Amino acid sequence: MMLKEKLISQDFIVAAHRGYRSEFPENSLLAFEKAIIHGVDMIEVDLRYSKDRQIVIIHDDTVNRVTNSEGCVSDLTLSDLKSLNLNDPAGAPSNEVIPTLEEFIEFVSEYPDLFLNIEIKPQERGLELAKELLKILEPTNLLERSVITSFDFEIIHFLYSQGIFTQGFMYNHLKNVGDYENVYESMDAICIFESELDRKIVQKFENENLFVWTCCPNSKDSVKYAYDCGIRLVTVDDIIPALEFKQSLANE
């Protein structure tokens, strides 16, 4: 099923933010696998270029927080990055390493029903990365079950112009907006942070024909609040409350 079809169906969708990161090293193949085993509908990942222009999956612009080392991702080669161990949620080194985009694609190819949220982090060569990403994904069937996300509006605008299903954020969170008057015209979906979420803002963006999602309600009460606001896709760090809430909907 295409992602847009799933969204139109109004089914409740649970997306694992950087995988099952509340229990396993974030953005690791292990965190993705554990999230899938528990039954999530979607995996969210973050992309950056290494020094030698390899696409790797890591959130921060440095490795300081998530590994046993220090340094800027853009200053480290793929070989450098692969020599590091990802930290677990407690901050202790694990046996997991930073995946490449190629490794991630090979991994998710085993799960044809899994949806993907692929975020391109703002970076010096972000637009270049977006163009390379499309070349990599176009020969696969992954684009039809993916949304591509960024806080960099230049990237969002480019992808939308190419007919790609895109997700952005509210204006105050975007970078590189330039002279664009209505940034929301270049988005298919928008993610509202939990702290800014209410029913009125959901209705506002639904009236602009956007799918409206939220990040990151990690308790049962916050998931229910998001649902009551009209949200049908939640991106979460702790997947269990959201999955339990989804099951309660199925039991009604």
The 10 Å CB-count burial string (b at 16+, else e) for 116-126 is bbbbbbbbeeb
Helix (H, G, I), strand (E, B) or coil at 101: helix
DSSP secondary structure letter of residue 98: P
Give the pair of three-digit tokens for residue 146. 């993916």
Give the Cα separation of 45 and 69 in Å (integer). Answer: 21
Is there a catalytic annotation at residue 157? no
CA neighbor of 101 nearest in space, from 137, 155, 154: 137
Give the Cα-Cα-Cα angle 211, 124, 101 (nearest 5 degrees): 65
Give the pair of three-digit tokens for residue 111. 């799960």
22 in Cβ contact with 218 (< 8 Å): yes
Phi-psi region of 173 (alpha: psi -120 to 50; beta: other; left: phi over 0): alpha
Question: Active site residue: 38, 59, 157, 173, which one?
Answer: 59
Contacts of 47 (CB under 8 A, 6+ apart): 55, 56, 57, 101, 118, 119, 120, 121, 129, 133
Question: Active site residue: 17, 38, 157, 173, which one?
Answer: 17
241 in Cβ contact with 21 (< 8 Å): no
Is there a catalytic annotation at residue 38? no
Positions marked catalytic: 17, 59
